[in-house]
Chains A and B, each alone.
Chain A
Amino acid sequence: QVTLKESGPALVKPTQTLTLTCTLSGFSVTTSGMRVSWIRQPPGKALEWLARIDWDGDKFYSTSLKTRLTISKDTSKNQVVLTMTNMDPVDTATYYCARATTRANWFDPWGQGTLVTVSS
């Protein structure tokens, strides 16, 4: 069974760096064709795609956030990590990770999401 699970702090202060981890189960991030994305959703608002890492190490970022984002993978733990610098209250959101593949380039499945609140 393919699952993803997000983890990280529930609360961060403004200007701090956020680190989120997506733990994968039932598939490997290094398997040819695999893609893992991060997507966020502020309370009551729409989904926003943030970043993607592919099985071969290729990385892609949101145009508006690319200076603040870094995506990486820990193959030994089968995890994908997202860091976002200089956090602001407008970054308060539920953060999801989701899988796609080169042959099935749509998000399925998704993790359950983790709510991150930015507040002093």
Chain B
Amino acid sequence: DIQMTQSPSSLSASVGDRVTITCRASQSIVSYLNWYQQKPGKAPKLLIYTASSLQSGVPSRFSGSGSGTDFTLTISSLQPEDFATYYCQQSYTVPDSFGQGTKVEIK
């Protein structure tokens, strides 16, 4: 099975900050990496698919990059509604797997 490791597990940031979250796969997953945002009590929401494609309706301050084993989610200017937990997920092969999540908190 492919293991997904996110870092950091949590971070504190201010509105307007640039935020970067990393995700590493235990083997190459090419570009089959997706990012989700989850707010308390809600289902996850797709942000980025295949590493760098922005889901329709998602603000352009979100971007993704990477290939192979190392990937990054970047929020260029953090907004109040972005405080949430973010998960990466590989869809290269079954069983699918998620990272452990990164909680973005208000500084």
Interface contact A49-B49, CB-CB below 8 Å: no
The contact of A106 among B1, B49, B95, by CB within 8 Å, is: B49
Q: Contacts A46-B100, A46-B101, A63-B1 known; A107 to B95 CB distance under 8 Å?
A: no
Within 8 A of B (CB), among A77-120: 96, 100, 104-108, 110-113
User: Once the chains are docked, how many angstroms separate the CA of A17 from the CA of B54?
Assistant: 40
Q: Contacts A46-B87, A46-B101 known; A105 to B32 CB distance under 8 Å?
A: yes
Of all chain A residues, which has the CB nearest B93? Answer: A60
User: Once the chains are docked, how many angstroms separate the CA of A32 from the CA of B68?
Assistant: 29
- Count of residues in A whose CB is under 8 Å from the partner chain: 22
Q: How far is the CB of A32 from chain B (nearest CB, A)?
A: 18
Interface contact B96-A37, CB-CB below 8 Å: yes
Interface contact A47-B87, CB-CB below 8 Å: yes
Residues of B near A96 (CB, < 8 A) are 43-44
User: Once the chains are docked, how many angstroms separate the CA of A49 from the CA of B100?
Assistant: 12
Q: How far is the CB of B17 from chain A (nearest CB, A)?
A: 24
Tell whether B52 is near chain A: CB-to-CB under 8 Å. Answer: no
Tell me the A residues contacting B by CB distance below 8 Å.
37, 39, 46-49, 52, 60-63, 96, 100, 104-108, 110-113
Q: Would you give 26 A-B contacts (Cβ < 8 Å), ordered by A?
A: A39-B98, A46-B87, A46-B98, A46-B99, A46-B100, A47-B36, A47-B87, A49-B95, A49-B96, A49-B97, A52-B94, A52-B96, A96-B43, A96-B44, A104-B49, A106-B34, A106-B46, A106-B49, A106-B50, A106-B91, A107-B34, A108-B46, A108-B49, A108-B55, A110-B43, A112-B43
Q: Give 6 A-B pairs besides A47-B36, A106-B91 with Cβ atoms closer than 8 angstroms.
A: A37-B96, A49-B89, A52-B96, A96-B44, A110-B45, A113-B43
